[in-house]
Every structure is written in structure tokens, then in C-alpha cells.
Structure 1
């Protein structure tokens, strides 16, 4: 993904950038998402930002309230527990295959970001909620 200070050019790039922000919870849960500020941050007009936000509503990564705008999806304890359980189930079930089939360097490369997120999760209460989501996204890219 492009750095926050970089500009993005296409609608596809805007969607990818905003989706990454939503997945990483760079928008605080329940907070209003300001389209104008986001467009300025990405260096684009509001139209591709609005299109990206509407697509993310269909993916249920953000919420839309008629006459109020876009909001970061709220997380409650039930959501977090479901995410953690899904994370544990999925990743623990594939670990034996990963270690069996991957070269040593590949395993270390995949585990390095996971350990960094685990360490961060221990330091920040909100990070504990983010870590399973972000770790799941990272592991799916390995």
C-alpha cells in the first residue's frame, strides 16, 4: 500500500488504500470518517473516496448512516471474541502444514511480522483487538 503521505492515482488504488486503513483500524471504531480529509490525505477528489467507502460498506468493513455519513464499524466484545476464535482455529489448523512444507527462511519471514504484532498487542489494549485481524491478513499473504 502507498504511504499515507503519497498520493494514489486510480479508483482501484483509492479503494485498496482505504480498505487497508479500515482493516488496520486507522479509523477508530465508531468514529465518523471525514470524506474531505481522507481525500486530501490520499491526494484525490472526494468521488473515488466516496466510491471506495460505499464498496467497504458492502464488505461490512465500515458503516453508513443515512444523513450522517460513513463511520468506522464498532467492535463489541462478541465481535472480538469471534475474530480471536476464528484466528486461532484457522492458524492453528494450518501451522503443521506450514512447518512441514515451507523452507526455514519462509517460516521465519512469515513469523517475524506475527511476533511484532504479538509484542504490540501486549502493550496496548486496542492493539489486542487489532492484532488478530491484522495477523490474519498478514498470514494470508505468506
Structure 2
């Protein structure tokens, strides 16, 4: 059973992790332990322990005698993470097709698909993106659960340590592009239901790699703009 101290560290780490993944801190900026402790209303010790945990996850870097810094990811890191994710999610789709989805998973995926289609038909673009983002997470997470293997979850969790691969950070695509992604969701689900493992795997890998190309291109452009402005 976790102690009060362990729970406090867990809560701080979770808060900082979310902030880092949401882009609240600029890459390579220093994370001042004293300031963070004051902001969070805790002592410096649990903050340092939480930062050490995040360093182990690869989200921050510790520099001797200088402290903790937000890690800057290169475009190669982003590309590699999407490649790993495509393999893991492709495997999940194949296993889900081979093993069959539970009735509960089928209901959840169909609800996610309907939610995505409804979201993308909304006139309010911001709301359309929000609703589609939720449906996208539901779709992928349910297929991952349907694979019934921890390997997929472990690999995707590793990929998720790179902020640019997270769904909330790839929702900047045009609505038309999102509609193409939604159509791909329907095709992937149809292949899984038809118990076509190779088709399901190929469709899912293509789906993820399509996102990789777009994100890598935008990320490279942003990095180039940063270098010009500094």
C-alpha cells in the first residue's frame, strides 16, 4: 500500500507529466525545483523525486550541477516513435481480428465511430475537433484493449513520452484530413469484424504512418522557424 509520501510524489509527477506533454514548458528550459515546490505548495524533496522519475521516463534531462531541463525532441525521435507506434497498433488490430472483439468492445468502437462522424459534421470547428479527438482516443484504446496483450500498451506508453505523438497534439490537421482519418477508422473496424488480420494490420499501420508523415513535416517546419527566429 502506497504511503502518503509516495502518493504525493505520484500526484506531483502526474501533474508535471501532463504539463510537459501539453507543451506548458518550452524545450530545454530549466525546471526550477524551488519555484515548482512553491507553485504546488509542497516541499522541494517530493518535487525532486518526481523530476527524477520523469527523467527516467525520458521527458526531462538532468544536467550535473545544473538541475533538470525539459527535453528537446528531434524530428528523428518523432519519426521513430510513430514507426514504433505503427508496429504496435498494427499488431493490436491484427490480434483483435484474430481473437475477435468482445460484444462490449464492438459497442464501444461503434459508438466511437458514430461520435467521430457526428463531431466532424458540426459547424463549430473547435467543437468538431474536440469531439473527434475524444472519439479517436476511444477508437484506438478499444482496439488496443481488444488485442488482449500488454506488449501493445507498453510500447504505446513508451511512444507517448514524446509529446508530438499524442493525439491532443496532432489535432491541428484540417477537418478534411480528419474526415479521411475517420474513414480509415471505419475500414479498419470492418477488417477486424470480418476477421481479416492481415488487412486490419496493414490498414492500421498505414493510418498511423499517414499521421507520422504530416506531424514530422510540421515539426520540421516549426524547428526551422525556431532556428530562424533565434
Structures share fold, TM-score greater than 0.5: yes
Q: What corresponds to 2:184 in structure 1? A: none
**Gaps (5+ residues) in structure 1?**
1-8, 130-142
Q: Which has the higher helix share?
A: 2
Q: CA offsets, 1:104-134, max 9 Å, x none?
A: 22561896153973762327xxxx47xxxxx
Which of the numbers 115, 126, 135 marks the counterpart of 1:112?
Answer: 135
In the TM superposition, structure 1's runs of 4+ consecutive aligned residues that sit over 4 Å from their partners are none
* Stretch moving more, 23-32 or 80-89: 23-32
Cα distance, 1:76 vs structure 2: 0.7
Q: Does 1:71 pair with 2:74? A: no
Paired residue total: 117
- Aligned Cα root-mean-square deviation (Å): 3.2
**Gaps (5+ residues) in structure 2?**
1-6, 116-132, 140-166, 175-214, 217-230
Cα distance, 1:95 vs structure 2: 2.9
Q: Which has the higher contact order (CA 8 A, sep 6+)?
A: 2
Which of the numbers 26, 41, 57 marks the counterpart of 2:24?
Answer: 26
Q: What corresponds to 1:54 in structure 2? A: 52
User: Which structure has the greater CA radius of gyration?
Assistant: 2
Counterparts of 2:169 and 2:17, CA distance in 1: 22
Q: What corresponds to 2:173 in structure 1? A: 122
